[in-house]
Structure 1
């Protein structure tokens, strides 16, 4: 003879709720402990726990009158409880959606940060080229000292243009560093190390 399968906790909840809806009456716990085993096959030891679970889920209502506690649930109560549950789920979905939007925004900011890294690399590369060009022109100036004044003035003008360009790029680098420092709360030394910016980088006089 096969062993009889026990009733699951969820099935007990369903049966207990059916009992309330069928009777449409008010019960004390001791009354439910007598009726539920006979009519719904729920063992008496689990009646109290099941009823309390239903109360916690707003499917069964309870009220203390005098020294006694009464329990009841009508079909309309179940409908109201479902509405409350749906409202709660809607609220949770809204909160989850808000968290998701914040996460997506953070990801977008990180992506933008990567683009900023590429821009910084370009700025540093351009600044390095201009610095080398400035040094080259200064060497040529020394060669022409005491020779043709017109050639000297031309080279001197080229140096001035190179200095202005180098200072513009240096200013751009400082602006990007300042933005990163304020945005991500990172120290100058860390930014210099991470992006290979020389600590002695400064405007050309």
Structure 2
């Protein structure tokens, strides 16, 4: 279909293409519209709506310019990648300088490994004694104080309910305690 556009260098409507394409290029009439739309979607054929009609065209110069632009983009990308490759090769060469496998280097690598292991052991030991950290102890004290206040508040609520039940139903205190499972020594925390 592109050959039709390039050979004639003309502008066509869909109905014109449906007549020309089957005769000249052997494209089935049923698929002309789909092929043309796919060429428009790919940017190979231009389409413009004028009034109620769609006009289609493609000139060889546009395809040539598109290929040239694509080639320029690809060449610039290639030069960037080549430059990056050269820079990486230089950095590899710099990194290799002074890194020959020597006895001293092997000893230093072993020492580094043992020091890292020792650091991990020390971290684990510090973690064991974390509960003795003054800051952690202070946080525990504050949490205990909050828990104590909450327990005393609930104790206060229980005494209020017992008092209400005694007045409302005339129950004895020891019967209320026995019914609800409240221990005899139930009192506020000090």
Q: TM range, normalised to the smaller chain?
A: 0.3 to 0.5
Normalised to the residue count of structure 1, the TM-score between the two structures is: 0.43
* TM-score between both structures, scaled by the size of structure 2: 0.45
